[in-house]
Structures are given as structure tokens and as C-alpha cells.
Structure 1
């Protein structure tokens, strides 16, 4: 890894957080989507099967929702941590004048 730079795509991570919110919103709206088509499905067996699916989906959705929330929080923590570190390094370089001027530092 010698000579490689670490690049953190902050913009991509920030947009990822928005995508997680979008997934959660669509996931949580699934039951309402089926309710809107109930009259168009015709056979009561299909309606009952979809109702059963939506009920089971609601049961498991809470866990998925929590996991998506955790993923978003972890992503935000990564952004915050690396932004802070980047700021600290930039401040150190500005303070000690070692911003690439070739000066030697005391050992």
C-alpha cells in the first residue's frame, strides 16, 4: 500500500444516507400500495394472500428498518470521523509550516 492515498468519497456516502431513507420510505409504504389495488385484484383468495404477505412483512419490517437506520448512522459516523481527522491534519500542516516546504522537523 506504499504510496497510495486514502480517498473517502464523502459525497457518495452522504447520498447513500439519502438512499437508505428512500428505501425505508418505500418499504414502509408497501402495505398502502397493496391496499390501493385491492378492488382490482378480483379473487378474494388473491386479496387474502396479499393481506397475509403484508401482515408478515410488517412483522419483519421493523427489524429491517432498525438495520437500515444503523447503516445510515454508521455511514454518518464515518463521514464525521474522517472529516474531523482531515481537518486536524490540515490544521497541523498549517500550524507547523510543513505544508510541503521541505523543512526538517525536530526528532
Structure 2
């Protein structure tokens, strides 16, 4: 039977993942302004209508992705925080037994 835990948590990976997810979320949020730019350069009304429909669909899905990316980022941060808290509690319990 193992006396120690085999569980290892890569806090750097969790921190990097949370940061990258936040960066991606911010990038997606910033893409909303391009709708006017795209429709402004298209002259033909049929193409403009098709582009408008595409952009509207993209906006709807982009907003959903922003929300979901934020939720995943929150879960990564909560996981990191929970493991750090557990590490702290285990360290205190171990120190008390050594003394």
C-alpha cells in the first residue's frame, strides 16, 4: 500500500490554461465590431444580405462561445483553487504530525 498520494497537479498548466481561455474569450468579444466593416465593403445587395445572415449567425454562435469559454475558464480556476486549498490543508495536517 502506498503511503503517499500518486496525484500530481500541474498548477502552472492550470494557470496557463485559465489565462489562455480568458485571452480567447476577450478575442471573441472583440470580433463583434467587424460586422459593419464587412457589410460596408460589399456592394451588391444580394451579397450584402447573404453576408448579413452569415454575420448574424456568427454573432449568435460567437456569443454562445464567449459564454462557454468563460464557464470553462471558471471551472479551471475553481479546480486550481480547490487543489491549492487541499494542498494547504494536507500540508498543515502533515506538519502537525511531525512535531
Query: Structure 2 length normalisation: TM-score?
Result: 0.75
Residues 28 and 37 of structure 1: CA distance in aligned 2, closer, same or farther (over 3 Å): same
Unpaired stretches in structure 1, ≥5 consecutive residues: 99-107
Q: How many residues align?
A: 97
Give 1:13-28 correspondences, 5 Å limit.
Answer: 13-28=14-29
Unpaired stretches in structure 2, ≥5 consecutive residues: none
Give 1:1-107 correspondences, 5 Å limit.
Answer: 5-36=6-37, 38-41=39-42, 43-97=44-98
Bigger radius of gyration among the two: 1
Residues 64 and 39 of structure 1: CA distance in aligned 2, closer, same or farther (over 3 Å): closer
Structure richer in helix, relative to its length: 2
